Amino acid sequence: MAERGRLSTVAVATVAAVVGGAASAGVVLIAQGDDGSSEPAASIRPAVDPSDAARAAEESESQPAPTIERTSVGEVYASASPSVALIEATVSGPSDSPFGPGGGGGQASGSGFVYDDQGHIITNAHVVEGATEVQVSFDGAREIPAEVRGTLESTDVAVLSVDPAEIPADALPIADSDAVTVGDTAIAIGNPFGLERTVTTGIVSALQREIQAPDGAPITDVIQTDAAINPGNSGGPLLDAAGRVIGINTQIASSGGGNDGVGFAVPSNTVTRVADQLIANGEAELAYLGVQSAPAESNQDGVLIDEVTAGSGAAAAGLESGDVVTAVNGEAVNDPGELTAAILSKGVGDQVSLTVVRGGETLTIDATLGSRPDAG
């Protein structure tokens, strides 16, 4: 994000100005005259003759309205909210992390959701950072002890493990976040300020955002939403209109630390890729090419390679500073974020085919991906 302000308890807070407007029938548009005076330029009025409107009303009374099947927010909430947990962590001391969900005195709280029928719960890594004890609750009273199965700070994803017999709800279905589009319904369920199972709703405001993880690494392909997200929502699910998880709520951008309608969720495809590794091994890896990149020249497609890291897959494959990568496995990339996302969608040890322009010549370079080093 280009401009940074102070950090809130769940987000890197940035200051953003939003300008909007609205128009309705009968609004008078004002134009500036040649002499500097203001005068009505046009009047926006309904473009329907009164007699036509009367006939349309009669016809609508005689014909039944079409039936549109919808899943309401209430239905999604009723189905999904039992699977959303309140997570309370005792930490060794007050956290200095700007991502911590607050509480002070070595206590922190956040949200999570049931991932499978084996007792695994997904949350944010920053919710349980430094935790010596973790408890989860589904009914507002009974606390269930949980263990941290694993975390990956560079994606802000954590998996908790509890006795599956103690979980009173089913796992939430997971959507393919690559299929999400701007304007889709977005429903957040969590525990803002400790207010359990609060639901807020909005839309998917933007896609392919990039935010900073607790360890400083970039998290790519992030979903932006205007559904209200506040301290305590961290780790809770962002759902689509069918009640499927499209991401986990992670950060907000705010001028004052509260909800300004700009929230961010780690996409579900990243969550599942990391969570499955954490469940299997207690740790997770991200694929790594080993380059620093920048946008190509304005008249050129692709991504400019500024620097190649020694010992990386990029170096072994022969990538050079000054190369321009235009595609990964045949898929065009036109900015550094797209290149990063293309690499992170692969696994450690995978081979990728890079289309590269070098000195006016187009080359195909195959590179084997390594493991991303810790950002800290």
Catalytic positions: 126, 156, 234
Terminal CA-to-CA distance of the chain, rounded, Å?
Answer: 19
Which residues is 8 bridged to in the sheet? Answer: none
CA atoms within 13 A on the CB side of 156: 36
Distance from C-alpha of 248 to C-alpha of 270, rounded to nearest angstrom = 10
Contact 237, 260 (CB under 8 A): no
Residue in 187, 352, 171 with CA at minimum distance from that of residue 279: 171
Query: In angstroms, what CA-CA distances link 340 with 101, 220, 292, 336, 343?
Result: 28, 7, 10, 6, 5
CA atoms within 13 A on the CB side of 168: 13
**The tokens of 299 are what?**
């008249």
**The tokens of 21 are what?**
């407007």
Distance from C-alpha of 228 to C-alpha of 199, rounded to nearest angstrom = 9
